[in-house]
Amino acid sequence: MNSQDLENINVTSFDAMPSPEELHARLPLSESAAQVVDAGREALKNILDRQDDRLIVVVGPCSIHDPVAGLEYARRLKALQAEVKDSLLLVMRVYFEKPRTTTGWKGYINDPFMDDSFQVDLGMEKARRFLLDVCELGLPTATEALDPISPQYLGDLIAWTAIGARTTESQTHREMSSGLSTPVGFKNGTDGDISIAINAILSASHPHSFLGLNGQGRVSIVRTRGNQYGHVVLRGGDGRPNYDTVSVAMAEQALKKAKLPCNIIVDCSHANSYKKPELQPLVMNDVINQVVNGSQALVGVMIESNLVVGNQKIPADLSQLIYGCSVTDGCIDWASTESMLRDAAQRLAAAKAARA
C-alpha cells in the first residue's frame, strides 16, 4: 500500500484556482475604490474609538445572488447615504458566503450560477468584480468571512467583517480575524451565548501563527499582529432576542469584566426578529430609543434588506426568480429600509441637538 491508497479517499478531484495575485491582476483595486475602503475603515475605527458619534449601519441583502439587483440596491443606498451621513455610517452588506445549519446554497462564491456546478473560480472573480463596483459607487462594504482563504482574494475591498454565529467559537476563524485588516464583529452563538464572542475578541486581539495562503497561492505559515477592533454583535439565539436594555447591559458588563471596550452592534434580523423581516423595524426602533436615552455601548445595527420584501426558494427554472428578492433569509423591502434609516437619522440628530 502507498499513501495514495490511504489519503483523499472521499475527495473526487482537486481543481486549481487562480492565485490571489492573479485575480488581483485581472481585477485591480482602483484608486477610487481604495479611497472608499480606507475611509470606511477609518470611520468605523473612529466610531469604535468614540472619536465619531455616528451609528454604524450594516445594511443590505442577506446574500448577493444577482449582481444586477445587488448594484441597483447599492445605487439606492448610495443616494440615501448623502441624506443620513451626519448621523449614520452606512456600510453595505455584501455577503457571498452563507454558513448553513445543515445544507443549502452556500453563496455566490461557492455556486455563482445556482445550478450546483460549483464554479468557485468564477464565483470568486464575480464576487471581486461586484465588490469593486460597490466601492467605486462610494459605499464601504461588509461581509462575513467564512472561508479562511477568501480574504486573500477579496480583503482589499472590505471595510467591516463579521464572524458568524456558527463560527465565532472556531479557532480557525479567531486566528484569521487576528490578521484581518478590518474591524471584526463577532456574533453571539446560535444558542444566545455571548461568552464565545467575548473569548473570540480576546483571542483575535493576540498575534497568532497558523497555516494559510500567501498572494502567490502558496501554503504558508501566516503570522499575525492581532486585531484590536473586535466587537460583539448581538443577534439573539435559542429562539430569544437579546437587543433589549437588560441583555445589552449584561453584554456590557461581560465586556467590562473581560477588560474589553464596550462596543456592541445589534443585528435586527435573525433571532432578534424571530427571522420575521417585518419585525426588524421594531428592533431598530428599540435600539435607537436606547441610544437616544444615553446608551454608551451601542455603536451600531445590522439590517437585512433587499429591493423586495421576504425571501424565495431557488427555483429549478432560474428564469422564475423574483428580481431583488432574497434567496436566503427574509429581508425588509427598500421602502421600509429608507423610512427606517431616515427616521433613525432624524431622531439621532434631534437628540444630538438637544444635548448641545
Ligand X SMILES: O=C[C@H](O)[C@H](O)COP(=O)(O)O
Ligand Y SMILES: C=C(OP(=O)(O)O)C(=O)O
Taking CB under 6 A as the criterion, the residue among 26, 50, 100, 225 binding ligand X is 100
Q: Which is nearer to ligand X, 286 or 329 (CB)?
A: 329
Residue that is written with C-alpha cell 429608507 in the block: 338
Helix (H/G/I), strand (E/B), else coil: 160: strand
Q: d(Cα 46, Cα 41) in Å, to the nearest integer?
A: 9
**Residue 65 contacts ligand Y per CB under 6 A:** no
Site for ligand X in 243-282 (CB under 6 A): 270
CA 285, distance to chain mean position in Å, is 21
Residue that is written with C-alpha cell 473569548 in the block: 199
CB 228, min distance to ligand Y, A: 23
Contact 180, 161 (CB under 8 A): yes
CB 286, min distance to ligand Y, A: 18
Q: Which is nearer to ligand X, 247 or 272 (CB)?
A: 272
Backbone angles phi, psi at 178, to 5 degrees: -65, -20
CB 144, min distance to ligand X, A: 8
Helix (H/G/I), strand (E/B), else coil: 144: strand
Contact 144, 161 (CB under 8 A): yes
Contact 285, 303 (CB under 8 A): no
Q: What is the 3-state secondary structure (H, E, C) of 242-272?
A: CCCHHHHHHHHHHHHHCCCCCCEEEECCHHH
Site for ligand X in 50-69 (CB under 6 A): 62
Taking CB under 6 A as the criterion, the residue among 104, 207, 239, 315 binding ligand X is 104
Taking CB under 6 A as the criterion, the residue among 73, 95, 186, 243 binding ligand Y is 95
Q: Which is nearer to ligand X, 26 or 240 (CB)?
A: 240
CA-nearest of 230, 188, 180 to 205 is 230
Judged by CB under 6 A, the stretch of 134-142, 160-168, 257-265, 330-338 that binds ligand Y is 160-168
User: How many residues in the shown chain lie near ligand Y by CB under 6 A?
Assistant: 10
Residue that is written with C-alpha cell 441637538 in the block: 353
**Residue 106 contacts ligand Y per CB under 6 A:** no
Q: Which is nearer to ligand X, 41 or 106 (CB)?
A: 106
Contact partner at residue 104 from ligand Y, ligand X, none, CB < 5 to 8 Å by partner kind = ligand X
Which stretches of the chain bind ligand X, using CB under 6 A?
A: 62, 98-101, 104, 270, 328-329
Which stretches of the chain bind ligand Y, using CB under 6 A?
A: 62, 95, 99, 144, 164-166, 187, 235, 270
